[in-house]
Structure 1
Amino acid sequence: MERWWNVIARYRWMVVVVWVLAAGTATLVFPSIQDTVRRQENTMMPADSESAAARAVLRQLNPDSEAASSAAVVISRDGGLLPGDKDWLRAKSDEWLRRKDELGIVSVLTAFDRPEMEAKFISGDGTTMLMTVDLPKPDYDPATQDTVRALQKEIGDAPQGLSVHLTGSAPISLEYMQSSEEGLKKTEILTVVLVLGILLAVFRSPVAPFVPLVTIALSFLLSAGIVGLAATWGLPVSSFTQSFLIAVLFGAGTDYCILMIHRFREELGRAPDRLEALIRTMRTVGKTVVYSASTVLIAFFLIGFAQFGLYQSAVGVAVGMAATLLAALTLAPALMLILGPRMFWPARIGSGASHGESKLWGRMGSLVAKRPLAVLLATVLALSPLTLLFDGKRSFDDLAEIDPKLGSVVGFRKIEEKFSAGEVFPVTIAVQADKSLRTPEGIAAIEEASDAASRISAVKEVRSVSRPLGERIRELTVSDQLAKTNEGLADIRDGISKVSAGLEDAAAQTENGIGGIRQLQQGLERLAREADGAQNGLRQAASGLRSLEAAAKQSADGAGQLHGVAQSMAADLDSLATSFPELAADPGYQALVAKQRGLAAGLEQSAQGLRQLQDGLSRIAPGVSAAADGLGQMADAQRQASSGVAEMTGKLGGMAGGLREAAGALKQMDGGLGQVLEAQGGIAEQGSRQIEGWYLPASALESEQMKAALDFYMSPDGKTTKIEVVLAINPYSAEAMSYVDEIRSAVRQSLSAAGIEGAVVKASGVTAQYHELQGITEKDFVRTALLVVAGIFVILALMLRSLSAPVYILLSLGLNYFATMGLLEYIFVQWLGYPGLSWTVSFFVFLILVALGVDYSIFLMARFREEYEPGGTAAAMRKAMASTGGVIVSAMFIMAGTFAAFLYSGVDTLVQIGTGIVIGLFLYALVFMGLAVPAIANLLGDGNFLQVGSPRPGAAERMRSSLES
């Protein structure tokens, strides 16, 4: 090793120049950590996490969608919004849409665009109104941050008295990052000031602090550049990376420099030669620095095996520790050689040349040597109650991390007050099926799942393809349809009652009509009998007419004969008159002739009349016969009519009975419908929750409303859909996270019951993501803690050549951690009223306390081993405590000072981590290093170290040999 220090001594100025160039190049050429942090998501979920898988599924809903993040403009006025307020917001909406390419936005949505969603955009009391803005890039993308800054300026011209704030995922992310960066700047300045002040107090020289400050500053710049470059290759970084780099490098690096400078000062007092003093310094404390830095490096390197990206981001500190160790072994020695004794100006080497032994630590060493068991028991008993205060309460509320007066926080709280906190960050359930859900059955299954989720107590409303506005489409629910059916059944029941009454009236009228019909039957029967009599009379008349006709014919023939006789007699008389002229004049004869001629004419007329009578009778007789036949037919017809009337009377009687039976059946039907209506119990009035049925006609899929819902909530192939669950409680709260599993399970079980077997159901969103983080971080904590403990155990075992010492050192670190966390949780939860410690605090406090606290053990135990002789444990420990106690306290104050700067960062997580580190370092340095660890070492005696070969020479002999060489 002496050759190495000779090289450093010969090229000490070149070493300084190389470090300056390296740091300058890393700062100017390599990417900065902050630029990389701005591009990465704050939580950095594992790629195989459910939240990441859910986001991948949701991207399939609309692969061509340009929106990747969002913001919300919240306007409010006490007493109610004025018309001018709404006009201003409408004008902003129209203007931003016109300038969307210039502003870098995708779309703007207000109640003016979607009147049916007015309840989602305007509060019930009319005091608050929302406007959502979709952005094309993720929250942490620089383009998104530029857009948010532009929108913040755009809302600066609001009407007087109108409160306007920009909130949502993108604005919250921006202001969280700004708060972190501002806190980091404060931390940087305070760290340098505190370290400088402590160094001035420790060295009482304006020159000596120059060595650690330059060493750590250049190593920090170099490591920050390397980490920034590595981040572009995939190394996880976060806002914690740079904060921890500053605190750990300035704290641990300064501690190492103090250790070397104090020993260098001590060695200069013994041998004024700088190189000789440096060689002796590095021969003794050099190994301590290497082992101490190695524990920190190994601890932070093993963080890289964590599953959670935010935890992994601490691995950058390992890079910083490697650079710091290299600087401690090259740059710091070069500066010490350049400055030499002048480094301690105005003090002289020789007066107080060494750090001196601490009287307080010497007394503590004596007490521990005399009563180690009592001291150990007293220490454990005093600290154990503190461990019982640690309940593991954690808070995942990012909004609580930053100033509540920031616009994004005020806007969020306003939405939380007037609408629901879940409006900004709903729980999104991604559903992926192996068949299309763009069917009536598929959408009905989604509705069943939506209804199941809506039944959970913490859920305000559910939005899905079946309820795009947060409420189910009433017209398509069975309850609504049943209500309408009930109305129809009631109408039918009324109609049945009326028909039944009408049938009963008809039956009564029919029965009344049967009596008249029976009288008609009797009349027809009587007429038939009368017609039979008339027929007989007519037949007799017809027979008489035929007889008269014959008689008339005979009479006509007789009259004709008589007429012939009379004409003959008249001719005879005429002949007689001719023969006897005298007779012609005889009056008697003339009279006789006249009579004869009159008789002949009369007979002729009689013959003609009889013939006419005969002709009339011949005509009348057939008519009378026909009339007789007609009367017979009429009688038959009357008899048939009577029989038909009798038959009709029977049928009418049956009809009346049938009508009464029909009326009775209708009455039974009416009673049945009444029972149905009574059994349904007014389901329509009781609401859709009493029946989850859903009926969607295939034709409804073509409606404009359903098409819009399908396009927004379901992928084109129908195999992917989402269900948005809006919580009624703060989405960051532990209570909200406790409902995620219940929501997911309700959706999965409902889909399975609806026949959608094997569907992939995953939860996404802020609440689901942090709920998943609870499990991930707990597992990561256990795994990485075991790795860190194992790594430190190996380093301690190799350094101390001991198996027992690493065990009780690690046990002391564990007890210190739980005591620290108990006190920390009491301060912030019980005293200050926080719901819990920030969720990363327990992990980082453990990591830093173990990684850095073990340095103090190394300081003490390395000196203890150096002083140790078999059988002289108590003396060696007393000497080690007296010699290193001041160094440990100085190192503790420096490390605590760097982390105390976190208290002014303005970020709750850093404040809590800083507080925990300060408490833990004070406890470990003063209590565990001053009492517990020395007590255990004294109790173990020679069992502290492995005895290999002959006993090692004592410290005095080694020091004498060193001086002689």
Structure 2
Amino acid sequence: MRWMNKHYIWNVIGWLLIVILAVVTIPNMSKLVADKGQITVPSNYQSTRATNMQKQWGRSQRGTTAVVVVFNNGDAALTNAQNTQIDRTIQRIKNHQSQYQIRSMTAASDSATAASQLVSKDKSTQLLQLNVHKSSSHSVTKIRDQITKLAKTSGVKTYVTGADVLNQDFSDATQAGVQKTEIIAAIFIFLVLWLVFRSPITPLFSLLTVAVSVITSISVVANLVDRFNFPFSNFTQVFIVIVLFGIGTDYNILLYNEFRERLANGKDRYTATKEAIKIGGRTVLYSGLSVLIGMSVLGFANFSLYKSAVGIAVGVVVLLAVLLTLNPFFMAICGRHMFWPIKKFQGEGDSRLWHGMAKHAMIRPIITLIVTGIVFIPLALTSHGTLDYDNLVEIGDNVPAKQGFKIVQNHFSKGTAEPTTIYLQSNHKLDNEKSLLLIDRLTKQLQASTGVKTVASVTQPGGKAIKKLYVRNQMSSVTTGLVKAQKGVNKVNKGLKSANSQLSKQDVSGAVKDANKLASGAKQVSEGTSQLQSAISQVSTGVNSLNNQVSSASGGQQAAQLAQLETALPQLNAAIQQLNSQVSASSTSTGGVTSSLSTIGTKTQDIATQLQNIKSSLGNLPSVSASSVAAAFSAQGVPLSSAQKQVLAGVLQKQTAAQSQLKSSLSSALTQIGSDASAIGSADQGVASQLQSLQGSTTTLQNAVATLAQKANIVLPGATTALQSASSQSAQLASATSQLSSAMFTINGKMPTLVSGASQVAAGNQTMAEKLAAMSKQLTALRKGLGSATTGLTQVSTGVGTANSYLKGLQKSAAAETFYIPKKSIQGSSFKQSMDTYMSPNRKLTKLTVVLNDDPSSAAAMARLPKLEKVVNGSLQGTSLSGAKVAFGGNTSQTNDINEMASSDFTRTVIIMLAGIFIALMVVTRSLVQPIVIEGILLVAYSGALTIVHWLVDPILGTDMLTWNTPFFTFVMLISLGVDYSIFLMRKYREFLHEPGATSDKMLRAATVIGTVVISAGVILSGTFAALIPSGVMTLIQIALAVIIGIILLVILLPIVMPAVMKITYPYPYSNMREAPVNHEDDAQPTRKN
């Protein structure tokens, strides 16, 4: 006995040291949950691929968490004063951006695009988006607390929210729930054990042993997680506490009942301890191993959350070690005092409830099974409804992050706070016209998808198209230019027609005839002048001779000569006057020709001006604009149908060809016309020059002849008169002849100039006549060319009008909604800002932000992702981005991945767990049928419990759905823990196998005896799970309700189904693998004292 005491003491010392070590070495659980307790998704799932792409984005997004600051004024619009306070807060955050590791931030004041996204329509709410660096030293909790303090704004309700912030609040709520659960469970267990054993001491021993196992288990698991990345989640700690408190208390009840029964039979404390541990401990060990197997196989799960339940297996191992080593110490040391103040002990009390149910079941087993099936199987097969993947339900409504999130959902779209991000990663850069066009096309197709509110991308940063970057807007400029070009062409055409009309009115042929007449007259003048010169020379010679003779000759000779002179002088005067008249007429004709030439020159200048305008207009014809349209619609990959492409190509080709041909013919005609006009201008300039010279000579000649005529009119008549009286006045005759001789000398001296001038005038008039004749031909060609030009310009105007009409029609079509940005604009400052936001620094990765109309965590939102993925793949197929990697990120994508993974892994995990428990049950029951029946009962209880909870959550919890992880953890808890009760029953049945009697009697007796233990254990376990309800965590509450209801169903089904099945199946050889009596030395059951 002393050896036993020493052995137990060493056990106590050992566990004391272990507990101290566990407390000293346990890591910070909150930090551990934050760092390693989050749900992870395998790398082949969308959300994980998206996360990996985000890490390649650059410093601004790698290793960051998205935080949203919400400024709200209830349902009323923010006032100017409040907006001023918000701006000050934003500026304060910007000033501390580096200090609080804020990598990037987007405020409504940044741009109009940002304002449209971050200010609600009712102006009551404004958002500030932050990307904050997250690390082990800069946890989400620290980020949340810092930003909350920094963003506090006077006079405005301010909230800090975000996916990671909400997850952290959920973790905090779970941790707080664990503390509540531990306290409530301890109090509940204490009270129940006090009632069961009627002793305040017994519960203390049970709580102490369970507490040692809980502390040790949590420390071991935490260190495994911290050092070896052991599976871990938010629920690991709370379920370790619940399971160990639940089954630990159940096992203690079983052990303490065995110990008390042996004390009641008169055994001493050492013997009672030994037998209680040997017999009860074996049942505990079998039950514990079943739970251990059930929990351990969860390590084969793929889903991190499911796998995290393997930590409970570690707790079960520690629990079994503590119960089977510490309890013997308390039993051996305390003996009967362990149940103080009870002094008179009795054995296990019979369960009348189980006795009655088992008895009636065995009387009519088949009917019992049929009725039971009719009642419970439909209940089990009833749908449990749609599962809720929204983590918000896990958090209380008083949590600020949840309040802020709800405000965003109420004043914006439900998906605004947690949008879906689509990442596209290409092996080439995306900052080019072709890739941007494809991205914009994808953006539009996503925007047109059902359930999508907005889609923002590099081409539509505000979720709306930038009009100036689309062909419709660009074509407006083209069509406007075409209208102007058409008006210009029409104006030029009108001017050419006017010039042609004016040229047609000019009588150039009359001017030619006048010039010919003038040349002929000038020629006659020139010839007459030459004759006159000869005559004047002769007269001058005669006058000189006369003068000489008058001075020296006799009167008879003088009379004869005077008579001749008197006759010649009038003739000379008449010739001089005729010359003067002809020279004057020549001058008048020259003036007329000069006036005609001036008019022709003016018109020629007008024609030259019109030609310049025509050439300028031809240079601005819409062929260039048509090329731009072709570039925008064809070369850049406009998404038109084949028919539309053919029509557009044909129109552009014909238009281009027509304009090219027209330009060529017009250019040729206009060049010829220009040459003709130039020739006319040159001729006109030559004639004008000659006319100027001729007019000068003519003027000189005219002046000379006029002077001659004037003097002749004076001198010659006087000379004639003088000659008539010469015979009487010889002296006077001599004087007159002398004057006449002097005048004739003067006239004769002027005659060479006159003859030369007349010759020049004649030659000039002849040249002018010839050039005017050539000009007439050129003007004829010019009018013909102008006629061709006006015809061509009419065709151009018609073509421009046709092209403009087609482009206007195309502008109204869907094809005009095509993105096009010139190369030079891509790197412009305004568009570069969009690329910096929606493209990675290397420009090979881009993102599209999709805001859904539905709640991001809802089944409706998740159902849209496969459709959106189909849209993306279809849009990129056959393009330069067909090989791009695509990944969906965000809460909806992660939730959808969790849904897919949880659904597939749930079935796999259930099969593995049931297989492991089946093997354990085969070992315990040594039967094939009994494990099948037991697992069938467990599955019916599990499914039925979920159905009932689904009915209850709406009226009790205010929600119409089960949380997505409730089914799994309910299954794990109910199956692994509920199997204990079947093992209790079947182990008790096997204890009676050595006794004589029918199998049905032994089964009835086992049910009657163990019923009290099972019911007590069920109450303890139900109460322990009920301690989860005050935690406020929806999943824990639903699991608690489901486990409690499942235990109630088990307590009802076990004493009905198992006895009925045993009654039916026992006679058949396959029902039991071995039905031999249990060794009395090992499993002897002491006779009970009633």
TM-score normalised per structure 1: 0.86
| Alignment partner of 1:86 is 2:83 | yes
Tell me the distance in 1 between the aligned counterparts of 2:497 and 2:824.
46
The equivalences for 1:736-751 within 5 A come to: 736-751=861-876
2:486 equivalent in structure 1: 496
Tell me the distance in 2 between the aligned counterparts of 1:559 and 1:156.
136
Tell me the distance in 1 between the aligned counterparts of 2:350 and 2:841.
79
Deviations 1:389-446 (A, max 9, x none): 3245111111111111221111111122222333322212222211222344444443
Question: Is 824-833 or 608-617 further displaced after alignment?
Answer: 608-617
SS in 2 for 1:320: helix
The equivalences for 1:60-139 within 5 A come to: 60-63=56-59, 68-78=64-74, 79-98=76-95, 110-112=107-109, 117-137=114-134
SS in 2 for 1:340: helix
Residues 195 and 894 in structure 1, CA contact (< 8 A), matched pair in contact too:
yes
Change (3 A) 1:76 1:194: same
Give the drift of 1:932.
2.2
Letter aligned with residue 896 of structure 1: S
Letter aligned with residue 501 of structure 2: E
Which of 799, 804, 821 does residue 673 from structure 1 map onto? 804
Deviations 1:916-955 (A, max 9, x none): 111111112212x122233223322144867678x62379
Tell me the distance in 2 between the aligned counterparts of 1:959 and 1:452.
74
Give the drift of 1:272.
1.0
Which of 437, 441, 450 does residue 448 from structure 1 map onto? 441
Give the drift of 1:321.
0.2
| Alignment partner of 1:894 is 2:1020 | yes
Letter aligned with residue 1059 of structure 2: P
| Alignment partner of 1:732 is 2:827 | no
| Alignment partner of 1:952 is 2:1087 | no
Change (3 A) 1:284 1:401: same
Tell me the distance in 2 between the aligned counterparts of 1:73 and 1:168.
9
Letter aligned with residue 467 of structure 1: Q
| Alignment partner of 1:238 is 2:233 | yes
Residues 928 and 1073 in structure 2, CA contact (< 8 A), matched pair in contact too:
no
Letter aligned with residue 999 of structure 2: T
Change (3 A) 1:527 1:446: closer
Tell me the distance in 2 between the aligned counterparts of 1:286 and 1:305.
29
Give the drift of 1:123.
2.8
| Alignment partner of 1:394 is 2:387 | yes
Structure 1 residue runs without a partner (length 5+): 571-593, 684-688
2:209 equivalent in structure 1: 215
Residues 550 and 733 in structure 2, CA contact (< 8 A), matched pair in contact too:
no
2:501 equivalent in structure 1: 511
Tell me the distance in 1 between the aligned counterparts of 2:171 and 2:193.
32
Change (3 A) 1:944 1:469: farther
Residues 507 and 660 in structure 1, CA contact (< 8 A), matched pair in contact too:
no
Question: Is 457-466 or 22-31 further displaced after alignment?
Answer: 457-466
Change (3 A) 1:696 1:615: same
Tell me the distance in 1 between the aligned counterparts of 2:1083 and 2:880.
84
Tell me the distance in 1 between the aligned counterparts of 2:174 and 2:460.
40
1:885 equivalent in structure 2: 1011
Tell me the distance in 1 between the aligned counterparts of 2:138 and 2:741.
142
The equivalences for 1:502-651 within 5 A come to: 503-504=493-494, 506-508=496-498, 510-511=500-501, 513-514=503-504, 516-517=505-506, 519-529=507-517, 531-532=519-520, 535-536=523-524, 539=527, 542-543=530-531, 546=534, 549=537, 566=554, 620=751, 623=754, 627=758, 630-631=761-762, 634-635=765-766, 637-638=768-769, 640-651=771-782
Tell me the distance in 2 between the aligned counterparts of 1:565 and 1:55.
144
Letter aligned with residue 258 of structure 1: I
Tell me the distance in 1 between the aligned counterparts of 2:740 and 2:491.
74
Which of 930, 942, 951 does residue 826 from structure 1 map onto? 951
1:281 equivalent in structure 2: 276
RMSD over equivalenced CA pairs, Å:
3.8
Structure 2 residue runs without a partner (length 5+): 559-724
Residues 462 and 725 in structure 1, CA contact (< 8 A), matched pair in contact too:
yes
Which of 344, 367, 370 does residue 363 from structure 2 map onto? 370
SS in 2 for 1:695: coil
Tell me the distance in 1 between the aligned counterparts of 2:189 and 2:243.
12
| Alignment partner of 1:848 is 2:973 | yes
1:719 equivalent in structure 2: 844
Give the drift of 1:244.
0.8
Change (3 A) 1:238 1:538: closer
Deviations 1:41-98 (A, max 9, x none): 5323335543233222212222366872243332322433334433433444444555
SS in 2 for 1:810: helix
TM-score normalised per structure 2: 0.77
The equivalences for 1:144-159 within 5 A come to: 144-152=140-148, 158-159=154-155
Give the drift of 1:635.
4.7
SS in 1 for 2:1027: helix
Give the drift of 1:293.
0.7
Which of 923, 926, 936 does residue 811 from structure 1 map onto? 936
| Alignment partner of 1:658 is 2:648 | no
Tell me the distance in 1 between the aligned counterparts of 2:86 and 2:756.
110
Which of 236, 253, 262 does residue 258 from structure 1 map onto? 253
Give the drift of 1:536.
4.6
Tell me the distance in 2 between the aligned counterparts of 1:262 and 1:636.
150
2:9 equivalent in structure 1: 13
Q: Identity of aligned pairs, percent?
A: 27
Give the drift of 1:774.
0.7
Residues 429 and 724 in structure 1, CA contact (< 8 A), matched pair in contact too:
yes
Letter aligned with residue 222 of structure 1: T
Give the drift of 1:240.
0.9
| Alignment partner of 1:409 is 2:402 | yes
Letter aligned with residue 38 of structure 2: N
Residues 350 and 1008 in structure 2, CA contact (< 8 A), matched pair in contact too:
yes
Residues 232 and 309 in structure 2, CA contact (< 8 A), matched pair in contact too:
yes
Deviations 1:533-585 (A, max 9, x none): 66357536645764675687588779878987649999xxxxxxxxxxxxxxx
Residues 1065 and 1071 in structure 2, CA contact (< 8 A), matched pair in contact too:
no
Residues 536 and 628 in structure 1, CA contact (< 8 A), matched pair in contact too:
no
Residues 190 and 203 in structure 2, CA contact (< 8 A), matched pair in contact too:
yes
SS in 2 for 1:72: strand
1:325 equivalent in structure 2: 320
Which of 996, 999, 1007 does residue 873 from structure 1 map onto? 999
1:916 equivalent in structure 2: 1042
Letter aligned with residue 216 of structure 2: L
Tell me the distance in 2 between the aligned counterparts of 1:379 and 1:458.
46
Residues 825 and 831 in structure 2, CA contact (< 8 A), matched pair in contact too:
yes
Letter aligned with residue 841 of structure 2: P
Tell me the distance in 1 between the aligned counterparts of 2:456 and 2:100.
30
Question: Is 873-882 or 83-92 further displaced after alignment?
Answer: 83-92
Tell me the distance in 2 between the aligned counterparts of 1:392 and 1:77.
38
Letter aligned with residue 490 of structure 2: S
Residues 110 and 121 in structure 1, CA contact (< 8 A), matched pair in contact too:
yes
Residues 61 and 103 in structure 2, CA contact (< 8 A), matched pair in contact too:
no
Change (3 A) 1:499 1:569: closer
SS in 1 for 2:308: helix
Tell me the distance in 1 between the aligned counterparts of 2:1037 and 2:1069.
38
Give the drift of 1:640.
4.3
Tell me the distance in 1 between the aligned counterparts of 2:60 and 2:231.
29
1:195 equivalent in structure 2: 189
Deviations 1:838-888 (A, max 9, x none): 111111111111111111121122223343489943233222222222222
The equivalences for 1:165-180 within 5 A come to: 165-180=159-174
Change (3 A) 1:904 1:750: same
1:421 equivalent in structure 2: 414
Residues 216 and 254 in structure 1, CA contact (< 8 A), matched pair in contact too:
yes
Tell me the distance in 2 between the aligned counterparts of 1:203 and 1:507.
124
SS in 1 for 2:439: helix
